[in-house]
Structure 1
């Protein structure tokens, strides 16, 4: 049996950290396919966790692991008994808390201490020693609040604009983002890669597919055509893009993943201050 619980970060961290989550299982081995997602920090306090990326690389994770935003599904394997406390990083959070450009770690993972120093190990130890969810959340809040003390220039207006662009329409258009930003297409591309880990074109494709997955997962859409709307050329285009970013066909998603997705999305929507972008990844 697998248990997953979600928690809201401290008010000062909302908009930077999408949510916290605790995942645990007594299964000896748990393998899963994670759809394209935001950057993540994961503290593995029991068992081990490894990633297999779309290009075939495998990263056997240390206890405290930082993974960049992904543009393709990632295979994860956990050895149990397993316990992991994680945090989703919004693009604003990546820029304010982490430091390196997001595209430097896109579709990759590294030991958290290589970026955040020994504070990462201290946080992992505190979470491992915690006796309950409240203590884990408090330890994570201390860690991320400490990272905020390192001053970094974050273009909040651009991140708000881009988050809204990715969620306001089922088919985000790059020219609309460029026009709204008042910058050149080249500058928008640079900032998009720096803060989101991908070009605007790839981001638009990613969130177009992930929005469709959420519509299927919540039951808002019952058929492929309802999920696709006018955002895809035809059924084959929809299936190809869906599989690229979700890791399975829409039919398999509805049969195997949609029930779990429905519960997950419902739980996360109850968290205060949950950013809309985070519901899709």
Structure 2
């Protein structure tokens, strides 16, 4: 981080930037996990570098800032407009120059095929311009974020664009088994793959194939990443009361923890704890908000305990 940042969409009690995010309308919840708008001001000409790690596919619209991503070691590519991020098993390095804004939504793996035809595995650990996949949908998403500072209007426009896309495709219903696995992975990622497949009344090989189609990665990867994201959130002060109290105990010892952090962040736990992650943290926080939704622990209008 090269300059002071002004997180206009909010920050945690520790001063870390977060997005404004919320659930979609009830009619979209099989396909859309959570809508978000993140606005962070920094001086013109200054660049913020970080990484992101998605546990679901995302559509992100980039209405403000000069955004780049490292598409191969040492090779950076400029992105603008609407971008489709696949789910990730390794960190994606990104950077933005100048005041930044990004808006969009996380895609529920069980509802993936309502939005796209190709299997999610095609986009795993990749980001591509959405216009290359669904040109009309991309144009609608960009138009929805044209007035990104009007956050509630942006949410409404994003929802309208998704509804139009689903109608145009005569979208199929979500896959109930994959929706169930998504909930398990987020809230109980220590379960064995064979036990989960059995609970879902699926042959383990068929279950693994379906997870790759919808999530983009193998079931073990999905669960392993979930355990890492839990401990990363705890280290950022984003623990969900009771649900994340035992996150650290999911790792056998310090070497196991270090190995997971090197895999998913490229750094040690100690270095991660010292590092500013202004572009990763909003995604972690939004995921933690989904846990609160799962547990239904917040009363209407109540804020998450980590928010300033």
Q: TM-score range by the shorter chain?
A: 0.7 to 0.9
Q: Secondary structure at the match of 2:145?
A: helix
Instruction: Find the aligned partners of 1:57 and 1:90 in 2 and give their Cα distance.
Output: 30
Q: Which of 180, 203, 214 is 2:222 aligned to?
A: 203
Question: Match of 2:91?
Answer: 73
Q: Which of 97, 103, 107 is 2:125 aligned to?
A: 107
Equivalent pairs counted in the alignment come to 273
Q: Which of 43, 64, 82 is 2:100 aligned to?
A: 82
Q: C-alpha displacement at 1:261, in angstroms?
A: 8.0
- The answer to whether residue 114 in structure 2 is matched with residue 96 in structure 1 is yes
Instruction: Find the aligned partners of 1:117 and 1:155 in 2 and give their Cα distance.
Output: 23
Question: Match of 2:190?
Answer: 171
Unaligned runs of 5+ in 2: 10-18, 296-303
Q: Secondary structure at the match of 1:41?
A: strand
Q: Secondary structure at the match of 1:147?
A: helix
- The TM-score with structure 2 as length reference comes to 0.76
- The answer to whether residue 251 in structure 2 is matched with residue 235 in structure 1 is no
Question: Match of 1:148?
Answer: 166
Q: Which of 134, 147, 160 is 1:116 aligned to?
A: 134
Question: Match of 1:21?
Answer: 36
Structure 1 residues 56 and 11: alpha-carbon distance in aligned structure 2, compared to 1, 3 A threshold: farther
Unaligned runs of 5+ in 1: none
Q: C-alpha displacement at 1:245, in angstroms?
A: 1.9
Structure 1 residues 90 and 33: alpha-carbon distance in aligned structure 2, compared to 1, 3 A threshold: same
Question: Match of 1:249?
Answer: 268
Is the 1:36–1:206 Cα contact (8 Å) retained in structure 2?
no
Q: Secondary structure at the match of 2:94?
A: strand
Q: C-alpha displacement at 1:248, in angstroms?
A: 3.1
Question: Match of 1:125?
Answer: 143
**Which of the two has greater helix per residue?**
1
Q: Which moved more, 1:1-10 or 1:189-198?
A: 1-10
Instruction: Find the aligned partners of 1:180 and 1:63 in 2 and give their Cα distance.
Output: 42
- The TM-score with structure 1 as length reference comes to 0.82
RMSD: 3.3
